[in-house]
A = this chain, B = another copy of it.
């Protein structure tokens, strides 16, 4: 990024921005290869990473050097280290890891929809193969959303249930509209055994929420109702 304190004009921001799609691709690739977990566990040289991540040394070296340049790693004497943020948010052993979010945020289908943005801006609406695009009924993109974005919402959902004083155990009926991964309702159910949660979303997406409810140890009864609602006790 161009520094705010510069005095000479520079084309740096123009070049950086025209190439910034490469940053997305590099971070997505590092997450796909699980580079951050590998470094966190001690595989911190090109040779060790290539072996551990089943990739070529050439590819790993170029990728990790780029990740060091853009701020995800540090490099000293041929050894890479995680930054504080990378250790917290990109190493899969961290409870705050948000690596799965890359599968939704940087999925090819979404990136493709930005391919000809001038046409979108001329029309004022997305340039999509179908009229509904990502909001067409039962579009599998939202199953991907529920699986990818659920884990990183757990701590927010837990905090929200606490703010709502769920622990008081009042007899609640909670409607979770567009529930997705279901985490917000599930955390209420965990903190308040007397709450009954009704989660609404498309059927394919609710399957993920039911999985998450069962994994969290709360009872989920799934009713295939008009409008796709399921119930957690």
Contact = CB atoms under 8 A, between A and B. Distances in A.
Interface stretch (A12-20, A132-140, A183-191): A12-20
List the number of copies, as a whole number. 2
A13 B88 CA distance: 12
Contacts of A117: 25-26, 28-29, 32, 63
Contacts of A33: 118, 121-122
Interface in A1-58: 1-2, 9-11, 13-15, 17-29, 32-33, 54-58
Contacts of A55: 118, 121-122, 124
A106 interface: yes
Interface in A101-127: 101-102, 105-106, 108, 111, 114-118, 120-124
B84 A9 contact: yes
B17 A27 contact: yes
A35 to B, nearest CB: 9
A20 B18 contact: no
Contacts of A25: 21, 114-115, 117
A70 interface: yes
A114 B21 contact: yes
Given A18-B28, A33-B121, 16 more contacts: A1-B1, A17-B23, A17-B72, A18-B106, A21-B111, A25-B114, A29-B118, A32-B117, A33-B122, A55-B122, A57-B124, A58-B124, A59-B121, A59-B122, A63-B117, A108-B116
Interface of A: 1-2, 9-11, 13-15, 17-29, 32-33, 54-60, 62-63, 70-72, 84-85, 88-90, 98, 101-102, 105-106, 108, 111, 114-118, 120-124
6 contacts: A1-B71, A17-B70, A17-B72, A18-B28, A18-B106, A25-B114
Which 5 pairs of residues, A with B, have the shortest CB-CB distance?
Answer: A56-B124, A59-B121, A29-B117, A32-B118, A25-B114
